[in-house]
Amino acid sequence: MKVRSILVNEIAEILVSEFIGENIQIDGLIKLPNIPSVYSNFVSYCLSKEYFPELKSDKRIKALISTKEIYDNIEHKGDITYIMSNKPKEDFLKLHEYLANNTQFYNIYEFEKVIGSNFKQHPSAVIEDGVTIGDNVIVEANVVIYKGTKIGNDCIINANSVIGGTGFEVDYVDNKLRKITHVGGVTIEDNVEIGANTCIDKGLTDGDTIIGANTKIDNLVQIAHHCIIGKNVLICANAQLSGTVIVEDDCYIAPSVNIRNQVTIVKGTKIGMGAVVTKSIQKKGTYIGVPAKEMIKY
């Protein structure tokens, strides 16, 4: 099997399963639809026919792992190949773990690190191969930067931060609870500063965690896998962003804010200190409290 190329019949063989549809070529796995990626032929999974329209809306998803019951109850099945499974999510993760640990499918970061000009690295910092760093970047003491990380120009990574570490995705594979292997990356655009003791996790399967240009992140911040942070965003100390959060441009996240996974925060929004954001925010404003609600000015 070549890197980033597997046929559906090979997937079915790994999962000891059958498939319905064409024996198409797959170049990526995606857990949630519409995650940014450079790849275009994904396999995903479906747990209910109610989720099917959202999955189908991502035209890159060419194959789905689903139960026979779900398949039989889906209308307008579309140009998708279906891989039969009694446990679609567990089989999706089983496939991912097999590819990550037994094949070269995900090995796109096997290159010597690339470092730009005027780079300053503390002797205690660790930078793996498979990392790309631009010009005028400062990496302070005890920083660890894992493979799959891309850092733009004029960035500062403050002491003890970890960039591109494994996120906390824990689930059942082969009836055992385990931490899922992460194989994605992190993209940090130009003129970003990452505070001390901050952790930014890499993507789980396909796509990167992204930090937009001119964003400033304070100390002790946790940004989970597949988050997308826009440009000119300020994130203060102790903020925690769960997986696949989107923070659009020009937002302000105050200290000790918690943001639930798969939440989107619209451009220009301010989140007040200690707020807990449990739902997407689609109207620009200032939000405070638990759960976070718009602050009304009288």
Neighbours of 124 (CB within 10 A): 13
What's the pTM value of the predicted model, to 2 decimals? 0.93
Active-site annotation, residues:
225
> In terms of Cα–Cα distance, which of 252, 129, 145, 151 is closest to 210?
151
In this structure, the answer to whether residues 11 and 123 fall within a common structural domain is: no
| Beta strand segments in 70-189, E | 81-84, 114-115, 120-121, 126-127, 132-133, 138-139, 144-145, 149-151, 156-157, 162-165, 170-173, 176-179, 185-188
In this structure, the answer to whether residues 87 and 217 fall within a common structural domain is: no
In this structure, the answer to whether residues 148 and 276 fall within a common structural domain is: yes
- The C-alpha angle 166, 171, 173, rounded to 5 degrees, equals 105
* Domains contained in the chain, number: 2
Q: Quick check: 91 pLDDT over 90?
A: yes
> What confidence tier does 38 reach under pLDDT thresholds 50, 70, 90?
confident
Q: What is the mean pLDDT of residues 125-151?
A: 98
Q: What is the mean pLDDT of residues 15-36?
A: 92
Query: Is the four-CA dihedral 268, 269, 273, 278 of positive or negative sign?
Result: negative
Q: Quick check: 60 pLDDT over 60?
A: yes
Give the model confidence (pLDDT) of 256-296 as tens digits. Answer: 999 999 999 999 999 999 999 999 999 999 999 999 999 88
User: Which of 102, 134, 153 is a domain's end point?
Assistant: 102
187 within some domain? yes
> In terms of Cα–Cα distance, which of 266, 121, 148, 282 is closest to 210?
148
107 within some domain? no
Q: Which residues of 174-204 are buried (b: 16+ CB within 10 A; e: fewer)?
A: eeeeeebbbbbbbbbbbbbbbbbbbbbbbbb
122 within some domain? yes
Mean pLDDT of the chain, nearest integer = 94
Domain of 98 in residue numbering reads as 6-102
